[in-house]
Amino acid sequence: MGNGYSVELEHVTRIYKRDEFEIRALDDVTVKVRKGHFVGIMGPSGSGKTTMLNLIAGIDHPTSGRVAVGGEELAGMKEAQLAGWRARHIGLVFQFYNLIPVLTAFENVELPLLLTALRKTDRRSHVQAALNAVGLADRINHYPRQLSGGQEQRVAIARAIVTDPTIVVADEPTGDLDAQSAEDILTLLTELNRRFNKTIVMVTHDARAERYVETVFRLDKGVLVGVESGRAPGVATATTN
């Protein structure tokens, strides 16, 4: 990342085909996010937020344009390469937590570490550190059904950071939470950003999120329509069409 950007999307377009229809989920979008910044992607439903997030996370491929994350170009990577790359560089947080119900909190957080070469003792210390960071050290043997929504999302965040990824991508992390829990999660993400200098890209509908992020990228109908400062002025640059 010689140029200081964690995420670079240049003239990215993503088109989906649904039967005979073409859906332009993203249309010639250019976005850059500096290392260590906490940014939000906002917009109405169907504006392309999750599509952009998926492209950044390497879960999807653009129809055209350039996507680089952590200095690595994703376009040329095959499916298997992308999977390995995601395991090393991306931490994912979903709206509905998506924890494995048959695994404890500890085991859910440990899951991504199975893809590493870490020994058992090292895995244990990583997991404990991640759970400590999210304030759930006393819930390690609980199953998801035994946790509240906020606690489940904390476990999900711990799972996202346990591999020390380059970037954390969060898709509506507060979407299924009550107001207090949502505030707690946003505070936690901010803390992770500040304490560990983690780059965080968050898709959100939540208007409260603007107080926590440094930059807001606004999408509408797949087009980047605005770049605004959040709680603090950022040095992110963007281009609108």
Partner 1 sequence: MLNTLKLIERNMRRNLRRTVLTVLTIAVATFTFTVLISVPASMDRLVSDAATGLRLVVNNKSAPWEDLPARYCGEIRALPDAAACVAMTGWVATYRDVSDPIQAFAVGPENPDVFPDYDPTGELRAAATKDRRAAFAGGVLMKKEGWKTGQLITLHGTDAGHLNLSFIVLGTIKSKHYPNAFVIRRDYLMEARKAAGYPDGDIAWFLMVRAERADRLSALARKIDDHFRNSDYQTRTVTESDALSSNLSAVGSIRAIIVALGVVVIVTVLLIAANSAAMTVRERTAEVAIMRALGFDREAVAGLLFGECAAIGLIGGLIGSVCAWRLCSGGLTLGAALNGNGALWVTGRQAFAALATAVAVSLVSGVIPILGVVRISPAAALRRIV
Residues near partner 1 (CB under 8 A): 50, 54, 57, 59-60, 79-80, 83-88, 90, 92, 94-96, 98, 100-103, 107, 110-112, 114-115, 120, 123-124, 159, 171
Residue 6: CB minimum distance to partner 1, A: 18
Residue 240: CB minimum distance to partner 1, A: 25
Check: CB of residue 53 under 8 Å from CB of residue 203.
yes
Contacts of 190 (CB under 8 A, 6+ apart): 38, 212
Residue 115: CB minimum distance to partner 1, A: 5
114/179 with CB nearer partner 1: 114
CA pair distance 200, 93, nearest whole angstrom: 10
88/142 with CB nearer partner 1: 88
163/215 with CB nearer partner 1: 163
26/238 with CB nearer partner 1: 26
8/110 with CB nearer partner 1: 110
User: Would you tell me how many other CB atoms lie within 10 Å of the CB of residue 11?
Assistant: 14
Residue 117: CB minimum distance to partner 1, A: 14
CA pair distance 176, 239, nearest whole angstrom: 32
Residue 169: CB minimum distance to partner 1, A: 10
Check: CB of residue 178 under 8 Å from CB of residue 206.
no
